[in-house]
């Protein structure tokens, strides 16, 4: 009989130790090491001397390349985030907060594929088949090619997949699936790692796209070892506030497309509806003639999005002024305020600053610097900027306005939505065909941009 071995595995990072420790030496987390028992499958030293792999190395220039056909859904936003559609044989991980709409999104995608004569197997480890049916009735889903299986045993799941031979598989969720050979509980590091590895082999061998749902921690990261995100082909995050109707599907890893794409959906009673023109949605509640509000044209992947940036500057009541930011890197707010103090002469050291990107979207590109700086200046001086202005540009530490990429797409999106002026970096003025229905103003410094937008 094989000897049972015991080891302690960190549930946060996957670190293994032969003995228990209160603090993980890898991720520095406390009380995360859990005992797991493993049974060797063969005696020590009894290794196979021959390999059953018959594949041989091939010269790269002799391998015939062909474009992988993609399976498209009727959701253009979903196709865009994946890089143009679902790649056969891919393993995609989608994570998000509880109740954000992950299962709803995948059930709608499954229904759309089933209506195209694709057999879809929806495996739910958290709900029974009748509970899934209730949710499908609420969403108005009734497709003949959609099969539902309530199972958590990976062996039974593999058996059903071999019998049905589906064209698309959904696993909801990976934390509920277990493999009998692994003695640890479902959701542990070992179970998640082994089950994901088995699903990856099934996807590549049978050429079936598999989507797996992953739970997230309180910090917003996908629960389980970081290795989980390295094993899959694509990692998608479904974001948004539960109390707001808009949801954002963002790609953070994609072996078959760009990681800068973003899809926007609206949660309705009958399910998720895609938002084809997000700029109008983000600007529909914009306040007119209010100090501290500016518009920026940001690039989300290959699509420009116009978003409102709001700033509130007020005298501090404490010794140290507060600097808060929502929807952007909070470190950029004190940096831009320091530039305004040094290069423009604004006395902001005794002012509290609150900066927010309206609509719940998160912006992380440097082209929003100019809009943030003008918003702060506008709120501090209590003077509203022009409602027809859109601001684009990166602010350097010396106060200069640096060029940004894809300026033509940003300006065209602003002109399409009716903006009359675009304040852009002076170095972006040449080298492209400018539209005739919007005025372009090139600025070189923050002081010059303030003069143009606020008049002083």
Summarize pLDDT for 187-206 with one digit per residue, the tens: 888 888 889 999 999 999 99
302 pLDDT more than 60: yes
Residue 326's DSSP bridge partners are 356
Mean pLDDT of 82-106: 91
Rg (CA), the chain: 26
**pLDDT tens profile 333-391:** 999 999 999 999 999 999 999 999 987 788 989 999 999 999 999 999 999 999 999 99
Supply the mean pLDDT for the chain.
87
**pTM flag (> 0.85):** no
- pLDDT: which is higher, 298 or 35: 298
Q: What is the per-residue pLDDT for 48?
A: 44
CB 348 within 8 A of CB 356: no
d(Cα 29, Cα 104) in Å, to the nearest integer?
A: 34
Longest dimension (CA), the chain: 85
- The pLDDT > 90 percentage for the chain reads 55
> Can you give the pLDDT at residue 229?
84
In the structure, what pLDDT confidence band is assigned to residue 44 with cuts at 50, 70 and 90? very low
Q: In whole angstroms, what is the distance from residue 372 CA to residue 295 CA? A: 9
Per residue in 125-162, pLDDT (tens digit) is 989 999 999 999 999 998 889 999 999 999 999 999 99
Tokens of 424: 């852009």
Q: What is the pLDDT of residue 47?
A: 42
Q: What tokens does 442 get? A: 């090139």
Q: Does the pLDDT value for residue 224 go beyond 70?
A: no
Q: Is pLDDT at 40 greater than 60 in this prediction?
A: no
Is it true that domain 281-454 has CATH number 3.30.1780.10?
A: no
> pLDDT value at position 45?
45
Instruction: Please tell me the predicted confidence (pLDDT) of residue 421.
Output: 95
pLDDT for res 137: 92
Determine the pLDDT at residue 243: 63
Helix (H) or strand (E) holding 274: strand 271-274
Torsion sign (Cα): 202, 204, 209, 213: positive
Sheet of 421-425: strand order equals 323-326, 351-357, 303-315, 293-300, 389-391, 421-425, 439-443
Confidence band of 49 (pLDDT split at 50, 70, 90): very low
* DSSP H helical ranges for 299-406: 332-339, 369-381
Express each pLDDT in 156-188 by its tens digit: 999 999 999 999 999 998 989 999 888 778 888
Is 70-276 in CATH node 3.40.50.300? yes
Higher pLDDT: 125 or 67? It is 125
Looking only at the bridges linking them, the beta strands covering 262-268 and 246-254 are: antiparallel
Query: Does residue 220 have a pLDDT over 80?
Result: no
């Amino acid at each position: 009989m094989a000897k049972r071995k015991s080891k302690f595995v960190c549930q946060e990072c996957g670190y293994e130790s032969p003995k228990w420790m209160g603090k993980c030496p890898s991720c520095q987390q406390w009380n995360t090491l859990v005992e797991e028992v493993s049974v060797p499958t063969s005696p020590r030293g009894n290794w196979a001397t021959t390999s059953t792999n018959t594949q041989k190395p091939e010269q790269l220039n002799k391998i015939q390349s062909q474009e992988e056909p993609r399976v498209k859904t009727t959701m253009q936003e979903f196709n865009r985030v994946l890089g143009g559609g679902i790649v056969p044989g891919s393993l995609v991980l989608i994570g998000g907060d509880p109740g954000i709409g992950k299962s709803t999104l995948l059930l709608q995608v499954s229904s759309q594929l089933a209506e195209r004569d694709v057999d879809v197997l929806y495996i739910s480890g958290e709900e029974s088949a009748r509970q899934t049916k209730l949710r499908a009735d609420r969403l108005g889903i009734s497709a003949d090619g959609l099969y539902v299986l309530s199972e958590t045993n990976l062996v039974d799941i593999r058996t059903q997949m071999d019998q049905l031979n589906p064209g698309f598989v959904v696993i909801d969720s990976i934390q509920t699936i277990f493999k009998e050979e692994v003695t640890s509980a479902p959701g542990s590091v070992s179970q998640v790692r082994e089950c994901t590895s088995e699903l990856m082999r099934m996807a590549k061998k049978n050429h079936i796209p598999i989507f797996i749902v992953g739970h997230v921690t309180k910090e917003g990261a996908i629960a389980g070892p970081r290795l989980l995100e390295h094993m899959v082909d694509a990692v998608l995050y479904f974001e948004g506030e539960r109390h707001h109707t808009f949801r954002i599907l963002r790609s953070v890893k994609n072996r078959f497309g760009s990681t800068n794409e973003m899809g926007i959906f609206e949660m309705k009673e009958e399910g998720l509806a895609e938002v084809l023109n997000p700029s109008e949605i983000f600007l529909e509640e914009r306040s007119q003639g209010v100090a501290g509000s500016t518009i920026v044209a940001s690039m989300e992947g290959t699509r420009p999005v116009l978003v409102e940036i709001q700033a509130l500057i007020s005298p501090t009541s404490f010794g140290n002024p507060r600097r808060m930011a929502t929807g952007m890197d909070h470190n950029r707010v004190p940096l831009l305020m320091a530039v305004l103090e040094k290069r423009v002469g604004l006395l902001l050291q005794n002012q509290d600053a609150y900066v927010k990107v309206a609509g719940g979207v998160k912006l992380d590109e440097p082209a929003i610097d100019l809009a943030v700086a003008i918003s702060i200046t506008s709120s501090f001086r209590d003077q509203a900027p022009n409602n027809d202005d859109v601001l684009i540009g990166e602010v350097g530490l010396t106060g200069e306005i640096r060029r940004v990429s894809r300026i033509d797409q940003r300006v065209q999106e602003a002109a399409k939505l009716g903006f009359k002026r675009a304040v852009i970096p002076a170095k972006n003025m040449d080298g492209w065909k400018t539209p005739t229905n919007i005025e372009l103003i090139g600025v070189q410094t923050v002081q010059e941009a303030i003069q143009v937008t606020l008049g002083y």
